[in-house]
Chain A
Amino acid sequence: MFGYYLDLALRSLKRSPGLTALMMLAIGFGVAASMTTWSVFRGVSGDPIPWKSAQLFVPQIDSWGPSQKSGAGLHEPPDALAYADAIALMHDRRAALQSAIYAVAPTVLPAGEGRSPIPVFGFGVYGEFFPMLDVPFRYGSGWQAGDDGDGAPVIVISDALNRQVFGGGNSVGRNIDLDGRDYRVTGVLKPWNPQPMFFDVVDTGGFGGNGPDVFVPLQRAIASGMENAGAVNCPKGVQPGAGYAGLQKSNCVWLAYMVELDDESAVQNYRQYLDNYASVQQKLGRFDWPPNNRLRDMRAFLDHEHVVPDDTRVSLLVALGLLLVCLVNTAGLMLAKFLRRSGEIGVRRALGASRRAIHAQFLTEAAVIGVGGSALGLLLTAIGVFAVNRMLPPRLAELARIEPALLLLTVVVAIAASVLAGLYPTFRAARVQPAWQLKTN
């Protein structure tokens, strides 16, 4: 029977080709325009890693206590971690992946006579940092988990530094002089400069710069006295002791921290774990206040730190509004077309078609329009993305990514909207007595 309905639908669509084209165009255009703009706006709305940001979280532990309350409102824990807390969290490894992070600014001395030292910027991190943030490698990879504990002299360098020091090429396994010590290169990145620099907005403020040049194991960086190039914040009245030893013992916060938690239960468990950790600290007497922790996902944390301008995010709503208008448009056209066909329905009913058959026929027709429009939409989306890549500045175009799940959802919504629009007139028409319909015609 479906074949017959399909045939009827195609005949009916062929009878009014202009209107059919218009409906399909409206759906296709809506799907394509909203998906293209969504992908671009989403790209620049301050989410440099949109495919993963929902799994990345920033733990905050109140190591200062309520006496440090600043301003009105809820007491917020500091936005970075003290050394003791960061190391304890790293030691427990309760998340799928995690890394403590701090900013360093060492100096690279390129080998060769008369070459001047290069001041560089980078981070002390753990090996899990690279898979956690999908950091793109040109050669090699991050270091082994064992290197973290041993404080091995290994290093990951940026594409730019690789060109500057080694003249490009695969430099994995070569040594590079950092602050007078040799480090073995385990990986060379592709150009990577996420904006905002989401993994350490506290130190970097989020924007600017040409991207990190080096990554070294955090324990190694500390052991070799690589100075913290980022912010250090201490509770009121606390002066950390001299050097790293003093900083490590103090409650001053200077380490960023990020964890990957893959589902809701993992998030709940990690929250619980943080609270347990703070309770233990309370029992030990290090904190004399109840646990006051936060576990914000990355975007919420960026919001909390006011990193992203708001109007880019509003643009997302504009893209969605576009889709909505297109769907309303199609529904209107479809309604107009179907409502007029009560005569045809009357004839078919008088000839013995059941109501079910009528429903099936019209829904088939509506679905054909929906599917046709969506297919057109997919095609137009491809063209749209191509156009975006050609026309926008490369940095923006790079951020624009089509999310397959979202695209699929849009197509399903488009088809559902057209079927729904087809449903109402069919329902109304199929209810009326066939004899009456024939007469009024």
Chain B
Amino acid sequence: MDILPILSTLRRHKLTAWLLILEIALTCAIVCNAVFLIGQRLERMDMPSGVAEHELLQIQVADMVAPANPYARVAEDMAVLRQVPGVISVASSNQVPFGSSSSNSNIRLDPAQVRWTLSATTYFGENLPKTLGTRLVSGRDLESSDFVDVDVAMKALGTGDAKHLPSVILITQTLAERLWPGQNPLGHIIYLAPTVGLRVVGVLDSLVRPNAYDISKAQYTTIVPLRMGANKDQSYLIRCRPEDRAHVLDAALAALKKVDPQRVVTTRRSFDEVRRKFFQDDRAMAGMLVGVIAALLIVTALGIVGLASFWVAQRRRTIGVRRALGATRRNILNYFQTENFLLATIGIALGMALAYAINLFLMLHYELPRLPAIYFPVGAIALWLIGQLAVLGPALRAAAVPPVVATRSV
């Protein structure tokens, strides 16, 4: 296919051709960056939790009549839950991974430190690592002798009485590496308050925090041996086989109701639901971005259709002359397809440069990572395809122009 005649024709429509190129370039640049943003959202939604998600259930109950001893109530509930057929393990917890609501502590490595080193989430409750299914990579799990009742610990915090405070803590690998890079964390002391030093006795493979909004801090997690009493924030976590979840949940609720018929169930859900809820905004935003990309491509396609139809109508006589001089229908079709391919290619080349520039700007002003090279061909192929599809209709119409048009006056 001869390109020169196409170029010389385009030179006669410089302004319109450039506007089309500009449109393609902008679309290409935006599509590259938007696809990248979607990729980041999807990556976030894939954030590992470190727990056996498909095997976990969460139940929260509210007692209308306060139990005389909230700790005894929890112990009774847990014993009852353990009896439910299909239940593998039961835990009591103050919060759940991806549950949004988080109890956080400001961690210091030295009690005299003014500014804390970092803020980590604190899980407490009994039997957590085993039920959640998070693996211990070194050290030991919490033992029942480590546990202190929350109220006792709070009181001790006020009086500074170290005897009634917990003395050990579990942390995640990520947190250990952040606090003591390259060292064995076991035996190190973490201060949650100037008077509360806790010795690291075990390191967890992975456990995500409830408020994992920032992926770099998502694993800043600790487990402290505090025993929960029955209250509105406390949850029961139940582990069972994935296929047993539905009937275990029903049976567990029935068992809890039996302990106290007046209590109200405030939360009952599987961990799949917890994750879905936590990332629902991300999913919605990714969906919006997909919508924007679709809108952009449609508008650009409409622009190409409009301009190509226009050019075809304008050149009817010229096309007729060419047909009369021996050009085949295929030649005419190819002409318009090649023209579009040329414009798209120039547009895409400019668009790549623009996409890169936009990304540089974003990296400078927002802490966004560099656009990986893989995203460039995505935009290019999308626009080549859209261009060829959009131009097909008008080009077919051009090819259908009969040679006899050449003999007619305007």
Determine whether the beta carbon of A235 is less than 8 Å from that of B16: no
Q: Using CB atoms, name the residue of chain B closest to A116.
A: B66
Q: How far is the CA of A399 from the CA of B30 in the complex (A)?
A: 25
Alpha-carbon distance A302/B391, docked complex (angstroms): 48
Across the A-B interface, the 3 shortest Cβ-Cβ residue pairs: A116-B66, A310-B366, A332-B19
Q: Indicate if the CB atoms of A396 and B281 lie closer than 8 Å.
A: yes
What are 22 A-B pairs with beta-carbon distances under 8 A?
A30-B299, A40-B288, A41-B285, A115-B66, A116-B65, A119-B232, A205-B104, A207-B213, A209-B100, A209-B101, A237-B114, A309-B213, A314-B33, A314-B368, A317-B358, A322-B295, A326-B299, A329-B303, A332-B19, A336-B310, A339-B13, A396-B284
Beta-carbon contact of B292 and A33 below 8 Å: yes
A29 CB-CB contact with B under 8 Å: yes
The 0/1 profile, CB within 8 Å of A marked 1, for residues 352-363 of chain B is 000000100010
Chain B, 1-38, CB within 8 A of any chain A CB: 13, 15-16, 19-20, 22-23, 26-27, 29-30, 33-34, 37
For residue A94, give the distance in angstroms from its CB to the closest CB of chain B: 30
Q: Taking the nearest CB of chain B, how far is it from the CB of A202, in angstroms?
A: 11
CB distance from A36 to the nearest CB of B (A): 9
Assuming A207-B211, A234-B114, is B27 touching A333 (CB within 8 A)?
no
Compute how far the CA of A328 lies from the CA of B296 in the bound complex, rounded to whole angstroms. Answer: 12
Known contacts A41-B288, A208-B102; A311/B303 CB under 8 A: no
Minimum distance in angstroms from A313 CB to a CB of chain B: 6
SS class, residues of chain A in contact with chain B: helix
Q: How many residues of B contact A (CB 8 A)?
A: 64
Residues of A195-254 contacting chain B, CB below 8 A: 205, 207-210, 231, 233-237
User: A37-B288, A236-B114, A310-B366 known; A26 and B281 CB under 8 Å?
Assistant: no
Which residues of the partner chain B approach A332 to less than 8 Å between Cβ atoms?
16, 19-20, 23, 303, 306-307
Instruction: Report Cα–Cα, A235/B112, bound state, in Å.
Output: 11
In the assembled complex, B142 has its CB within 8 A of some CB on chain A: no
For the complex, is A331 an interface residue (Cβ under 8 Å from B)?
A: yes
Q: A408 an interface residue at 8 Å Cβ cutoff?
A: no
Known: A310-B368, A325-B27. A233 touches B232 (CB 8 A): no
In the complex, A396 Cα to B368 Cα: how many Å? 23
Give the most central of A119, A208, A210, A340: most B CB within 10 Å.
Answer: A208
Q: A33 with B295: in contact, given A116-B66, A235-B114, A395-B281 (CB under 8 Å)?
A: yes
Contact, CB under 8 Å: B66 / A325: no
Count of A-B residue pairs with CB < 8 Å: 163
Is A22 close to B, CB under 8 A? yes
The smallest beta-carbon distance between A296 and chain B, in angstroms, is 17
Known: A309-B213, A325-B296, A329-B303. A210 touches B101 (CB 8 A): yes
Inside 8 A of A30's CB, which chain B residues have their CB?
299
Q: Judge whether B328 is part of the interface by a CB distance below 8 angstroms.
A: no
B311: interface (CB < 8 Å): yes
Interface residues in A295-335 by Cβ distance below 8 A to B read 309-315, 317-319, 321-322, 324-326, 328-329, 331-333, 335
Q: Could you give, for residues 272-298 of chain B, a 1 whenever the CB lies within 8 Å of some chain A CB and a 0 otherwise?
A: 000000001100110111011001101
The tally of residues in A whose CB lies under 8 Å from a CB in B reads: 64
| Bound CA span A340–B307, Å | 12
Q: How far is the CA of A332 from the CA of B287 in the complex (A)?
A: 30
A337 interfacial contact with B, CB 8 Å:
yes
CB of B211, distance to nearest CB on chain A (Å)? 5
> Is A81 located at the chain interface by the 8 A CB criterion?
no
Find the A residue at minimum CB distance from B70.
A116
A103: Cβ under 8 A from any B Cβ: no
Q: Which residues of B contact A424 (CB under 8 A)?
A: 15
Chain A residues contacting B299 (CB-CB under 8 Å) are 26, 29-30, 322, 325-326, 329
Instruction: Collect the chain A residues with CB atoms within 8 Å of residue B46's CB.
Output: none
For B232, what are the chain A residues with a Cβ–Cβ distance below 8 Å?
118-119
CA separation between A371 and B167, bound complex, in Å? 72
Assembled-state Cα–Cα distance A326/B303 (Å): 9
| In the complex, chain B residues whose CB is within 8 Å of the CB of A314 | 33, 37, 362, 366, 368
A86 to B367, CA, bound (A): 33
Given A44-B285, A395-B281, A396-B281, A328-B26 contact (CB < 8 Å): yes
Output the least CB separation between B196 and chain A (Å). 15
Residue of A209, A315, A317, A336 with most chain B CB atoms under a 10 A cut-off: A336
Query: Which residue, of B101, B119, B280, B288, has the highest number of chain A Cβ atoms within 10 A?
Result: B288
Q: Which of B37, B231, B284, B288 contacts A311 (CB 8 A)?
A: B37
B37–A25 CB distance below 8 A = no
* Beta-carbon contact of B115 and A208 below 8 Å: no
Cβ B307 vs Cβ A336 within 8 A = yes
Establish whether residues A22 and B366, one from each chain, have CB atoms under 8 Å apart when the complex forms: no
* A315→B310 contact, CB < 8 A: no
* Residue of B with least CB distance to A393: B280
Q: Which of A117, A231, A333: most chain B Cβ within 10 A? A: A333
Q: Is the CB of B15 within 8 A of A23?
A: no
Is there an interface contact between A116 and B210, defined as CB atoms closer than 8 Å? no
Given A44-B281, A328-B26, A26 and B296 touching (CB < 8 A)?
A: no
Residues of A within 8 A of B284 (CB): 391-393, 396
Q: Report if A352 contacts B (CB, 8 A).
A: no
Query: Are B306 and A19 touching (Cβ within 8 A)?
Result: yes
The reply to whether A315 and B285 contact each other, CB–CB distance below 8 Å, is yes
Residue of A nearest to B211 (CB): A208
Within 8 A of A (CB), among B234-253: none
- With both chains docked as a complex, state the minimum distance between the C-beta of B71 and any C-beta of chain A, in angstroms: 14
